[in-house]
Amino acid sequence: MLTAFLACVMLSFGVGATSAWAEGEALQGTLTSNGAPVAGVKIKAFTQDGAPVGEATSDEQGKWSIPVPGAGSYKIDLDQSTLPSGVTVTNGRPSLTPSVADGQARNVLFPLGGGSGGAATGDQNQPAPSAPSEWDRIANLFYSGIHFSLIIALAALGISLIFGTTGLTNFAHGELVTFGALITFLFNVTIGLPLVLSGLVAVAVGAAMGYVQDRAFWGWLRKRRTNLVTMMIISIGLSLAVRYLFLYFFGGDSRAFAEYNSQPGEKYGPFLIAPKNLVADAIAITVLVAVSAALLMTRLGKATRAVADNPALAAASGINVDRIIRLVWTIGGGLAALSGVLLGVYQNVSFQMGFQILLLIFAAVTLGGFGTAWGALLGSLVIGLFIQFSTYWIPSELKNVSALAALILILLFRPQGILGRRTRIG
């Protein structure tokens, strides 16, 4: 039923009609400065061994694309001498090393600023921008860690509430994150609505999807007294089915929203932050504080905590346990969808974006303590900071390893998680 519903939604909005810039593996991007496209800029791509792969020149819309021979890591250089007079790479990194997955057209961002865009002038005497200092780099890693933590925390809070009230370890939660991003993409790119309005619609649809899941599927399994291990295995199968449904209709390419996809950063002291990220942070913090406050201060929040502590005693006290669980699924679906919207703004949209951060979401929930809302928030903060700071010493491709190493190290000394409660076995 769930997969059929998703298929109907995607077909009705014409996901398959959206095409990528390039077929197969490719590197691509859009160059803009102060909102105006930058044309005539040369981009060159190389293998990790330094062998040339290809080159491209940005067109009148600032777009460029370089096909690559297959999946892997590549080195890509922006020729600064071809930038218009006064335009620079604002983060001081004209060379990047992106990784391309099978069938992916990877979007590469070079933030430009300082000029009005337009065609290149070919000024060979243009001074190259100075590289950021070590302090600036540390400050930006700290901020990016906080930003990524907030995105993870939204999804982690939802999955923690679901586990706390039902005991289910839901491996399909990552697909709810992807679902939120894809619905936003459909309304923003295919239909043409503003991104903010599209995001609000996606959160509402994600919350409705959480409600539908529990009412038509998980609630039915609970009534049949299906054990939690079986339900966990079912969630794995559901995750695979929905993920490949996304791949079938959306495709394997990584795509950007129609707005805010190439926004240059602005300096705030030692921090270089894109304004869209500050807005996303404010939204995430507001939602997290609101949900946490509701859990502490409202009757429904107290009933939710009662169900999480002891469902049988809560039912005996007159609490409608099924209604509370359905509410938790609704909130969890909305939080996951919002996480997908913000993640899509941060790193573009792909069919497996939720699956790619699912392990980090579980790590955050486990680290903080399964079933505790505050633990999910604290665990997300630790995971996000470890991920970003690790790139100071190790390649970015290995950054998730540091977070999982931190998880193992902390659990060795505190198996119940940072804020979890000890449980007696046997």
Q: How confident is the model at residue 418 (pLDDT cuts 50, 70, 90)?
A: low
Q: What is the pLDDT of residues 197-244, one digit of tens each?
A: 999 999 999 999 999 999 888 989 988 889 999 999 999 999 999 999
Of 131, 160, 184, at which residue does a domain stop?
Answer: 131
Separation CA 140–CA 145 (nearest Å): 8
Of 115, 131, 147, at which residue does a domain stop?
Answer: 131
Is the domain of 297 the same as that of 234?
yes
Q: How confident is the model at residue 289 (pLDDT cuts 50, 70, 90)?
A: very high
Q: Are 54 and 100 in contact (CB under 8 A)?
A: no
Separation CA 146–CA 342 (nearest Å): 13
Separation CA 132–CA 130 (nearest Å): 6
The phi and psi torsions of 33 (rounded to 5 degrees) equal -135, 120
Is the domain of 113 the same as that of 178?
no
Q: Is the residue at 419 inside a domain?
A: no
Which pLDDT value is given to residue 327? 93
- Nearest CA-CA partner of 175 in 187, 159, 161, 188: 159
Q: What is the DSSP string of 373-415?
A: HHHHHHHHHHHHHHHHHHTTTS-GGGHHHHHHHHHHHHHHH-T
Q: Is the residue at 19 inside a domain?
A: no
Average pLDDT, the chain: 81
- 25-39, 103-117, 319-333: which has the minimum mean pLDDT? 103-117
Does the reported pTM lie above 0.85?
no
Q: How confident is the model at residue 132 (pLDDT cuts 50, 70, 90)?
A: low
* Measured torsion, CA atoms of residues 254, 258, 260, 262, in degrees rounded to the nearest 10: 60
Q: Are 50 and 20 in contact (CB under 8 A)?
A: no
Q: Is the residue at 202 inside a domain?
A: yes
Which two structure tokens, joined as six digits, stand for 315?
Answer: 């039912």
Q: Are 35 and 274 in contact (CB under 8 A)?
A: no
Is the domain of 266 the same as that of 292?
yes
**Does the pLDDT value for residue 11 go beyond 50?**
no
Q: What is the pLDDT of residues 14-37, one digit of tens each?
A: 444 433 344 467 888 888 877 678
Mean pLDDT of 337-349: 91
- Nearest CA-CA partner of 178 in 10, 8, 340, 357: 340
Is the domain of 118 the same as that of 243?
no
| Helices marked H in 348-372 | 353-368
Q: Is the residue at 143 inside a domain?
A: yes
Is the domain of 218 the same as that of 124?
no
Q: What is the pLDDT of residues 141-193, one digit of tens each?
A: 888 889 999 999 999 999 988 988 888 889 999 999 999 999 999 999 889 89
Is the domain of 147 the same as that of 119?
no
Q: What is the DSSP string of 226-258?
A: --HHHHHHHHHHHHHHHHHHHHHHH-S--B--S
Q: Is the residue at 7 inside a domain?
A: no
- Nearest CA-CA partner of 15 in 245, 333, 321: 245
Is the domain of 292 the same as that of 394?
yes
Which pLDDT value is given to residue 126? 46
Which of 385 and 7 is assigned the larger pLDDT?
385
Is the domain of 243 the same as that of 108?
no
Is the domain of 202 the same as that of 105?
no
Which CATH number characterizes residue 30's domain? 2.60.40.10
Is the domain of 39 the same as that of 155?
no
Residue 84 domain boundaries: 25-131
Which of 83 and 393 is assigned the larger pLDDT?
83
Q: Is the residue at 100 inside a domain?
A: yes
Q: Is the residue at 5 inside a domain?
A: no
**Does the pLDDT value for residue 56 go beyond 80?**
yes
Q: Count the domains in the chain.
A: 2
Separation CA 215–CA 282 (nearest Å): 32
Q: Element (H or E) spanning 53, and its range?
A: strand 52-57
Separation CA 235–CA 217 (nearest Å): 11
